[in-house]
């Protein structure tokens, strides 16, 4: 992958990112849990932005991909602040946030700080509050007691860890049980065959948002990744609505 840059934050953290300047709102892609900017959806949207002359920003959260840090130290608050620092430093004008899975949760936290600049939100299998509905009570007790929880990883050989620091921070950012004060247009894409994030979560998110312009698109045979050619074409079409 070419065009990798690094931004140094106030505490010395170096966050890897890619940026292309251009017209329209800047698309800012927020990857999922343990994911990075090299994924197929992020890459497809960046390439589309370059081809269309649109602005686009990709990043790796600290502890992920090409960024500095240890994943065990990662948390929503820290990653939110990294996104906001990059937007403040490199993006002028409106912002279109696109969040995948956990990135769909982080998208809400970033949006709350960018209200006056939001062109819209696009969620892909959005997973807000997954520390509440995605774990058993036994797992939640273990995390609250300071233990790391390991789960089978369907996408790789190593188990997926959830660290107690991430869990404790996430408990401060639950959003689905109260009104989410975001009023911009929102498009939510979710596969009905998603084995990781129930598609009903996108319906709960729609109900919680204050915005009067929220549309949910369900892909009957779509899985969690929504990375097939047809899925990515649908995602591009949803994004294109904000550049009409």
* Strand 95-100 to 23-30 pairing: parallel
Contact assessment for residue 15 and residue 61, using Cβ atoms and an 8 Å cutoff: yes
Query: Which parts of 2-114 are beta strand (E)?
Result: 5-8, 14-20, 23-30, 54-59, 95-100
**Strands annotated E in the chain:** 5-8, 14-20, 23-30, 54-59, 95-100, 118-124, 149-151, 160-162, 186-191, 214-219
**Residues involved in catalysis:** 101, 194, 224
**Distance, CA of 177 to CA of 4 (rounded, Å):** 38
The Cα diameter of the chain in Å comes to 50
Strand order in the sheet with 14-20: 5-8, 14-20, 54-59, 23-30, 95-100, 118-124, 186-191, 214-219
| Cβ pair 30, 123 in contact under 8 A | no
């Amino acid at each position: 992958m070419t065009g990798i840059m690094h931004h140094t934050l106030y505490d010395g953290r170096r966050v890897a990112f890619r940026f292309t300047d251009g017209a329209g709102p800047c698309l800012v892609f927020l990857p999922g849990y343990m994911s990075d900017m090299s994924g197929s959806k992020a890459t497809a949207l960046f390439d589309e932005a370059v081809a269309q002359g649109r602005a686009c920003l990709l990043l790796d959260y600290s502890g992920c991909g090409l960024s500095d840090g240890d994943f065990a130290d990662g948390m929503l608050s820290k990653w939110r602040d990294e996104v906001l620092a990059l937007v403040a430093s490199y993006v002028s004008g409106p912002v279109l946030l696109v969040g995948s899975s956990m990135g769909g949760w982080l998208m809400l936290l970033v949006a709350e700080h960018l209200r006056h600049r939001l062109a819209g939100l696009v969620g892909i299998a959005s997973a807000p509050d997954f520390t509440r509905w995605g774990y058993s009570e036994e797992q939640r007790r273990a995390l609250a007691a300071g233990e790391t929880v390991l789960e089978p990883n369907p996408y790789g050989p190593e188990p997926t860890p959830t660290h107690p620091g991430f869990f404790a921070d996430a408990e401060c950012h639950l959003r689905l049980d109260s009104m989410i004060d975001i009023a911009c247009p929102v498009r939510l894409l979710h596969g009905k065959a998603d084995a990781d994030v129930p598609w009903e979560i996108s319906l709960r998110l729609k109900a919680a948002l204050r915005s009067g312009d929220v549309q949910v698109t369900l892909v009957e045979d779509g899985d969690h990744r929504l990375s097939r050619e047809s899925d990515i074409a649908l995602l591009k079409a949803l994004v294109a609505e904000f550049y009409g």
